[in-house]
């Protein structure tokens, strides 16, 4: 009986250890939320939680574009600048008619959907450019997207530069546009579900379907796991990579339009460094830096982890400098754990 109890205890310990290893990010997120809630009860207020989810909505759309690229063992450094470019494209066409500093004073009133679609198209164009450079010219993703990052920033700076105002923020946005990100559907009593959260949820579902229920999704994982074996299996690597970067560009375009609507303005510096946050969220959420591994649920968890962490540190009055240090340590730890898993397998 004693031996059986010891064996059961050892098995239980192993199961608990395995669970903690697989759900480490969720456990850290839970502890972070609970500890911050104890010291700052307002952190767990409904208004703050909704605000966090609204912030998360934009970031998760960007991360869902970056994630599949990382799964193919690539990277997209242009993400943040594309978000800024597309935000300015949408905002410039949705300024109020009575706003004094309109970029296009002679542009007629447009249906709301048109500028948003144009922003998505602008993102698709950059994504297609990235995919073509990587697939056809065989330029490494890091260098290719570094180049398009600089190009996108130059393009958006030229776009918003209007003498004598210079590259000033694009403001005076229409109410119907800002309500897309800040409006909400009444559910029950004072409970309201923001549109932006619904949009993010729809994108999550669509990306889950793409990665888990389509041939393209299977090809994405195959390329990341072993590109040579994928070619032998008949996978069109070039075509798949172009699709991945186009989808990412479309998501950046949507995120840019939503962010412009959410903050009521756009500048050429919007989105600076956001690609690093997206990459960080993906890695924290279990997307392997060695390719072939990653899930939509993991990406969502990683984004929630970073957003809750940033918000919690602000509530705890932690210096922004320390916030960067904490974020960096979490990222390095996540990559270190991922690399150790890869080494154990090989």
The DSSP line for 134-153 is HHTS---HHHHHHHHHHHHH
Q: What is the pLDDT of residues 75-101, one digit of tens each?
A: 999 999 999 999 999 999 999 988 888
Rounded to 5 degrees, what are φ and ψ at 78? -90, -5
Distance of alpha carbon 146 from alpha carbon 130, whole angstroms: 10
Q: What is the pLDDT of residue 74?
A: 96
Q: What is the pLDDT of residue 342?
A: 61
Residue 13 maps to a domain: no
pLDDT above 70 (res 272): yes
Residue 18 maps to a domain: no
Kindly state the helix (H) or strand (E) to which residue 175 belongs, with its residue range: helix 175-182
Residue 4 maps to a domain: no
**Residue found under tokens 């994928």:** 230
Q: What is the pLDDT of residues 12-23, one digit of tens each?
A: 666 665 655 556
What's the mean per-residue pLDDT of the chain?
A: 88
Residue 206 maps to a domain: yes
Longest CA–CA separation in the chain, Å: 87
CA distances (Å), 138 to each of 74, 131, 133, 220, 252, in order? 12, 10, 7, 18, 23
Q: What is the pLDDT of residues 24-65, one digit of tens each?
A: 666 777 787 888 888 888 888 888 889 999 999 999 999 999
The predicted model scores a pTM of 0.90
Asked if 65 and 282 count as a contact pair (C-beta separation under 8 A), the reply is: no
Kindly state the helix (H) or strand (E) to which residue 344 belongs, with its residue range: helix 320-345
Q: What is the pLDDT of residue 67?
A: 97
* pLDDT classification of 309: cutoffs 50, 70, 90: confident
Q: What is the pLDDT of residue 56?
A: 94
Q: Give the count of domains, the chain.
A: 1
* pLDDT classification of 282: cutoffs 50, 70, 90: very high
Distance of alpha carbon 203 from alpha carbon 276, whole angstroms: 21
pLDDT above 80 (res 343): no
Q: What is the pLDDT of residues 167-187, one digit of tens each?
A: 788 999 999 999 999 999 988
CB-based contacts of 21: which residues, under 8 Å, 6+ apart? none
Domain that holds residue 212: 25-345
**Residue found under tokens 């997307």:** 287
- State both tokens at 1: 């009986």
Rounded to 5 degrees, what are φ and ψ at 245? -75, -30
Q: What is the mean pLDDT of residues 246-253?
A: 98
Residue 198 maps to a domain: yes
Asked whether the CA dihedral 129, 134, 139, 141 is positive or negative, the reply is positive
Asked if 312 and 36 count as a contact pair (C-beta separation under 8 A), the reply is: yes
Q: How many CB atoms lie within 10 A of CB 277?
A: 22
Q: Where are the alpha helices (DSSP H) in the chain?
A: 2-22, 24-39, 46-71, 79-92, 113-135, 141-160, 175-182, 195-213, 215-225, 227-232, 237-263, 274-284, 296-315, 320-345
Q: What is the pLDDT of residue 11?
A: 64
- State both tokens at 48: 């703050």
**CATH code of the domain containing 166:** 1.10.3470
pLDDT above 80 (res 240): yes
């Amino acid at each position: 009986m004693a031996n059986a109890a010891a064996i059961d205890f050892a098995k239980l310990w192993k199961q608990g250890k395995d669970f903690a290893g697989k759900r480490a990010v969720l456990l850290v997120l839970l502890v972070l939320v609970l500890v911050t809630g104890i010291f700052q009860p307002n952190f767990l207020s409904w208004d703050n939680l909704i605000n966090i989810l609204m912030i998360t909505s934009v970031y998760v759309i960007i991360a869902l574009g970056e994630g599949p690229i990382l799964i193919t063992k690539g990277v997209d450094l242009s993400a943040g600048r594309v978000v800024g470019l597309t935000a300015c494209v949408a905002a410039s066409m949705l300024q109020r008619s009575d706003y004094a500093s309109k970029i296009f004073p002679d542009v007629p009133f447009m249906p709301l959907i048109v500028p948003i679609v144009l922003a998505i198209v602008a993102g698709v164009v950059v994504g297609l450019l990235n995919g073509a450079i990587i697939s056809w010219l065989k330029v490494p993703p890091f260098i290719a997207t570094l180049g398009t990052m600089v190009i996108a920033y130059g393009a958006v700076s030229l776009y918003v530069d209007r003498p004598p105002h210079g590259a000033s923020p694009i403001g005076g946005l229409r109410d119907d546009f800002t309500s897309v990100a800040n409006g909400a559907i009444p559910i029950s009593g004072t409970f309201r579900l923001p549109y932006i959260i619904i949009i993010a949820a729809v994108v999550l579902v669509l990306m889950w379907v793409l990665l888990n229920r389509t041939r393209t999704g299977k090809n994405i994982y195959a390329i990341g796991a072993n590109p040579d074996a994928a070619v032998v299996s008949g996978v069109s690597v070039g075509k798949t990579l172009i699709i991945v970067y186009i989808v990412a560009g479309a998501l950046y375009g949507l995120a840019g339009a939503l962010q412009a609507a959410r903050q009521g303005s756009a500048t050429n510096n919007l989105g600076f460094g956001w690609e690093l946050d997206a990459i960080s969220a993906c890695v924290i959420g279990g997307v392997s830096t060695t390719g072939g591994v990653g899930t939509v649920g993991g990406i969502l968890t990683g984004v929630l982890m970073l957003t809750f962490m940033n918000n919690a540190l602000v509530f705890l009055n932690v210096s922004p400098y320390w916030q960067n240090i904490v974020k960096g340590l979490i990222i390095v730890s996540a990559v270190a754990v991922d690399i150790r898993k890869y080494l154990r397998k090989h």
